[in-house]
Structure 1
Amino acid sequence: MLAAKLPCKETIKVVEEPIPVPKKGEVLIRMKASALCRSDLHRYHGVALFDEDDKEANITPGHEPCGIVEELGEGVTKVKKGDRVAIYLGLGCGTCPDCLRGDIMLCPEFRCIGFAVNGAHADYMTIPEENCLLLPEGMDFITGALATDVGGTLYTACKKIELNGTKTVVIIGCGPMGSGGILMAKGFGARVIAVDTDEERLQTALDLGADYIINPCSTDGPARVRELTQGRGADAAIVTAGGDIPLNSALNSIRTKGQVALIAESNRAVIDPSNQFVRTLAELKGCWYFNRGDWEEISDFIVNHEIDMKKISSHTFSIAEAEKAFPLFDSGKTQKVVFVWE
């Protein structure tokens, strides 16, 4: 089979290797779609994101996959050959309180496919059967792949900040995650104000359904948000761009008792706690991936609300073209890049 590897910094190689054999409790997945993620680029640039020993160049990246169950390992009972599945990216201990309630990403022993073990940028992969997420009827493979990291994370964020048809939300950062946020927020019925410094991404935001766009390079973002909300500020904000400026923009754009969902990765930020929290009663909520038990709710929401996740996929490649796909995605000039198998 073909698999993409990261033998050294900013280098991708596609190699031939044996099809893996599922161990006890595992299944073999024949890949149908596998999306590139910004996290993949941390390995591409030689930076580990999950505190893993990332020196093993033989680990196949990829943690947003979708495919078909091809073979069952010993003891597998929850899925069957031929099932169409997306893959939950987290591997946990299985016994801690976080794992037991489905929040695998919070497990003290959390490991991520594509970082700690072989991931999905390959023709086949093996995975524990409990990581298989059955696709509903009507969901294609590309949508299934995008419904995990992007769809699941942004659906969870929209729920955490209690979006509905009466709410206005500011989405700061209109890359793939922010674009997914626009789709999800509109599915919840909210009015969306999209903020980005890139005019092409702002045009994409409009195409995805954003009601208003703001470029903070030419406009005072929080002031414009207040103009659009009769001086009150937005009910909520979703931050998908990293750094001080986007986070502060979100906190300064929301009304009193507003809520901010923070998705963007960042090591530190300087804020004004007294004026942005204490005297506003604002809430800042961390949002990282989704509870495994919520998959049916998430996938049904996407299907029933006819949310076209494929609108945020700007390019598709075969796995044999991985050497082209990684640098293109790294350029920042794309939305989601997805490997597909016919």
Structure 2
Amino acid sequence: MSESMRRVVVRSIDDVQLEQVPAPAPGDDELLVRSTLVGVCGSDVHAALGDHPFIDLPYRPGHEVVGAVVAAGPGAEDFKTGDRIVVEPNLYCGHCPQCLAGRYNICEQLKVFGCQTPGAMADLFTIPADRVHRLPDTMTDRQAALIEPLATPVHAVAKAGDLTGRTVAVLGAGPIGLLTLIAARHAGAARTVVTDLRPAKLERARRLGADVTLNADAPDLVDRAHEVLGGRVDVVFDCVARAQSMAQATELVAKGGQIIVVGVGAPGATPVRLDLVQDREIRIEGTLMYTAADYRTSITLITSGAVDADEVITAVYPLEEAGKAFTAALDPDQVKVLVSVPQT
């Protein structure tokens, strides 16, 4: 093992560089892990553009990571060298009321590995052993790279309860929107409509099982959605989280229905039709990240064949071209962009 390693630092979307830093060593209850594949998340792009409300520049990315254990610190000896793992990156306190209730994804002191702490877009990283999940031998690294991105939609869909026989709208056909579609269909949604501005994204949504796709800018979007679904929508998943999408969600949803905000909203206020929220008893609920149960569901979904990794992963760049990976992730026709970390 070398005494130094490469790690990506992001100062802006146009300034994504490799820095040379000392290689870490695992502390108590920690693992030293060699990165294999690291995803560029939508949150990473927002952060690089300087408009993520909870990530400050510069930062060291890499929370969507697949890797292999290099060494285990004291207390983490249950892991052995070569174990393939995926990181669950929410770093929680364990003591606040939310953590004690099992909702550690909304810990009052929550930090996210690779967002508020240095991440795994590097040759090596350390992580508490209780923040990783072992991978099934049958799962490829490319499939495993989708566990973390899928866990967020799985968590969001779980908030809607049993979707059997219900109608669903997914606003936005980016990575999270497409994976929300997959999770909703797996949860029993009877009919699904997906909206987006890009024809290529809508075509991909149809390939992944959307019953109907609609242009998000269509002036008659709400009426057309109601027509094809046979009425108002039971559950709307807003994976865009902007003023336009929230306005559409409020018009689309049925009386007594749910709007689940999955996308990261822009800082500041977003107008909402409170008259409709009140009159129709609409429930608007946010959703953040996931818990271990969502990871287990994601692993089951992927190993079952419900997720076509080749359909979702659209580009892979080596670590030394991380800047190109961030630029590619800006392309609206890309879905999931990965960074590969070959052994040095």
TM-score in terms of structure 1 length: 0.90
Contact 2:106–2:288 (CA under 8 A) maintained in structure 1: no
**2: distance between equivalents of 1:48 and 1:236?**
26
**1: distance between equivalents of 2:72 and 2:213?**
49
Contact 1:34–1:120 (CA under 8 A) maintained in structure 2: yes
User: Which position in structure 2 is the counterpart of 1:155?
Assistant: 154
Q: CA deviation at 1:313?
A: 1.3
Which of 9, 14, 26 is the equivalent residue of 1:10? Answer: 14
**2: distance between equivalents of 1:297 and 1:183?**
12
User: Which position in structure 1 is the counterpart of 2:251?
Assistant: 252
Change (3 A) 1:238 1:309: farther
User: Which position in structure 2 is the counterpart of 1:28?
Assistant: 32
**2: distance between equivalents of 1:307 and 1:8?**
32
Contact 2:170–2:177 (CA under 8 A) maintained in structure 1: yes
Contact 1:239–1:246 (CA under 8 A) maintained in structure 2: yes
**1: distance between equivalents of 2:176 and 2:118?**
24
User: Which position in structure 1 is the counterpart of 2:240?
Assistant: 241
User: Which position in structure 1 is the counterpart of 2:273?
Assistant: 272
Secondary structure in 1 aligned to 2:138? coil
Contact 2:14–2:323 (CA under 8 A) maintained in structure 1: no
Q: CA deviation at 1:61?
A: 0.9
TM-score in terms of structure 2 length: 0.90
**2: distance between equivalents of 1:63 and 1:245?**
29
User: Which position in structure 1 is the counterpart of 2:321?
Assistant: 321
Q: CA deviation at 1:73?
A: 1.0
> Percent of counterpart pairs with the same letter?
26
- CA offsets per residue over residues 80-110 of structure 1, 9 Å max, x none? 3332211111112122232244433312211
Secondary structure in 1 aligned to 2:28? coil
Change (3 A) 1:140 1:306: same
1:117-128 to structure 2, matched below 5 A, reads: 117-128=117-128
User: Which position in structure 1 is the counterpart of 2:99?
Assistant: 99
Change (3 A) 1:12 1:180: same
Q: CA deviation at 1:241?
A: 0.7
Question: In the alignment, is residue 38 of structure 1 matched against residue 39 of structure 2?
Answer: no
User: Which position in structure 2 is the counterpart of 1:290?
Assistant: 290
Contact 2:63–2:89 (CA under 8 A) maintained in structure 1: yes
User: Which position in structure 1 is the counterpart of 2:63?
Assistant: 63
User: Which position in structure 1 is the counterpart of 2:205?
Assistant: 205
Contact 2:11–2:48 (CA under 8 A) maintained in structure 1: no
Q: CA deviation at 1:29?
A: 1.1
Contact 2:238–2:246 (CA under 8 A) maintained in structure 1: yes
Contact 2:195–2:214 (CA under 8 A) maintained in structure 1: yes
Secondary structure in 1 aligned to 2:170? strand
**1: distance between equivalents of 2:216 and 2:25?**
52
Contact 1:102–1:292 (CA under 8 A) maintained in structure 2: no
Q: CA deviation at 1:136?
A: 3.0
**2: distance between equivalents of 1:179 and 1:44?**
23
Q: CA deviation at 1:319?
A: 0.8
In structure 1, runs of 5+ residues without a counterpart are none
Q: How many residues align?
A: 335
**1: distance between equivalents of 2:102 and 2:34?**
25
Worse overlay, 88-97 or 170-179: 88-97
- CA offsets per residue over residues 51-80 of structure 1, 9 Å max, x none? x6x35x4x5211111111111012214533
Q: CA deviation at 1:219?
A: 4.5
Q: CA deviation at 1:213?
A: 0.6
Change (3 A) 1:326 1:273: same
Q: CA deviation at 1:227?
A: 0.5
Q: CA deviation at 1:293?
A: 4.0
**2: distance between equivalents of 1:9 and 1:155?**
29
**2: distance between equivalents of 1:136 and 1:90?**
22
Contact 1:142–1:338 (CA under 8 A) maintained in structure 2: no
User: Which position in structure 2 is the counterpart of 1:215?
Assistant: 215
In structure 2, runs of 5+ residues without a counterpart are none
**2: distance between equivalents of 1:103 and 1:273?**
28
The amino acid of 2:234's aligned partner reads: D
Q: CA deviation at 1:287?
A: 1.1
Secondary structure in 2 aligned to 1:154? helix
1:162-241 to structure 2, matched below 5 A, reads: 162-190=161-189, 191-230=191-230, 232-241=231-240
**1: distance between equivalents of 2:293 and 2:79?**
16
Q: CA deviation at 1:49?
A: 3.2
Q: CA deviation at 1:262?
A: 0.6
Question: In the alignment, is residue 74 of structure 1 matched against residue 78 of structure 2?
Answer: no
**2: distance between equivalents of 1:100 and 1:278?**
32
Worse overlay, 319-328 or 3-12: 3-12
Change (3 A) 1:184 1:297: closer
Worse overlay, 314-323 or 95-104: 95-104
